[in-house]
Chain A
Amino acid sequence: KAGVTQTPRYLIKTRGQQVTLSCSPISGHRSVSWYQQTPGQGLQFLFEYFSETQRNKGNFPGRFSGRQFSNSRSEMNVSTLELGDSALYLCASSSTPGVDTQYFGPGTRLTVL
């Protein structure tokens, strides 16, 4: 069974631009969560989607948004990029949110110049 895949793996953007990251969960998993990881703040929860609906949202500004498609693939979008958005963005999938083990993808490394 293929694992969680994230594209692209690396991105370089400049301040003010926007970016879209993609996550394909493990086949059969309907829950996708997104996290931001930085050296200073560690791993912080962004949001979770289940069956195309946002179930939970972390404490991030509205510039961070996401969506989930009917095939459970998810995208997150960051608009008006700031230097502080440079981070490793991880997505994780599970079959039943909050209950089952989360399986993580390799992450997308975003650098904002």
Chain B
Amino acid sequence: KQEVTQIPAALSVPEGENLVLNCSFTDSAIYNLQWFRQDPGKGLTSLLLIQSSQREQTSGRLNASLDKSSGRSTLYIAASQPGDSATYLCAVNMNRDDKIIFGKGTRLHILP
């Protein structure tokens, strides 16, 4: 059974710092992996989608990497801003049945 873990559960960093969020998964037979952000009480916004054949994806200040063999993905945020404060979730799409399994997220707080 696929399990997706995100550590730490919460993180506070000063504005301007670069930071890395971690996501690990137990079954490497994934089709793709997606990073989302969720603002309090709202839906999810897709940030980056990495196909299983890719190693990384970049969008602006965000860079996501994927290492299938070790069951890990990281989301790198450069030059953090207060507006980056949100919960970040990773989700894996399984090959076998296309079910999407989410981690419980990392709650990020950028200190002004």
Chain A residues proximal to chain B, CB less than 8 Å:
4, 33, 35, 42-45, 48, 55-56, 58, 88, 90, 92, 97-107, 109
Contact (A42, B104) CB under 8 Å given A48-B98, A56-B97, A58-B99: yes
Chain B residues proximal to chain A, CB less than 8 Å:
31-32, 34, 36, 41-46, 49, 89, 91, 93, 97-105
- Pick 6 A–B contacts, CB within 8 A, sort by A: A35-B102, A44-B102, A56-B98, A90-B44, A99-B32, A104-B43
Residues in B neighbouring A98, C-beta threshold 8 A = 31, 93, 98
B44's contact among A44, A56, A92, A99, by CB below 8 Å, is which?
A92
Judge whether A101 and B46 touch: CB under 8 Å. Answer: yes
Of all chain A residues, which has the CB nearest B51? Answer: A99
Residues in B neighbouring A42, C-beta threshold 8 A = 102-105
CB distance from B18 to the nearest CB of A (A): 25
Judge whether B89 and A43 touch: CB under 8 Å. Answer: yes
CB distance from B52 to the nearest CB of A (A): 11
CB distance from B81 to the nearest CB of A (A): 23
Residues in B neighbouring A100, C-beta threshold 8 A = 49
Supplied contacts A4-B43, A97-B98, A101-B46, 6 more A-B pairs, CB within 8 Å: A42-B102, A42-B103, A45-B102, A56-B99, A90-B44, A101-B34
What CA separation (Å) do A42 and B45 show in the bound complex? 16
What CA separation (Å) do A70 and B42 show in the bound complex? 28
B43's contact among A33, A56, A101, A106, by CB below 8 Å, is which?
A106
Residues in B neighbouring A107, C-beta threshold 8 A = 42-43
Question: In the complex, which of the residues B31, B41, B42, B43 has the most CB atoms of chain A within 10 Å of its own CB atom?
Answer: B43
Judge whether A43 and B43 touch: CB under 8 Å. Answer: no
Residues in A neighbouring B99, C-beta threshold 8 A = 45, 56, 58
Residues in B neighbouring A104, C-beta threshold 8 A = 36, 43-46
Question: In the complex, which of the residues B41, B97, B99, B105 has the most CB atoms of chain A within 10 Å of its own CB atom?
Answer: B99
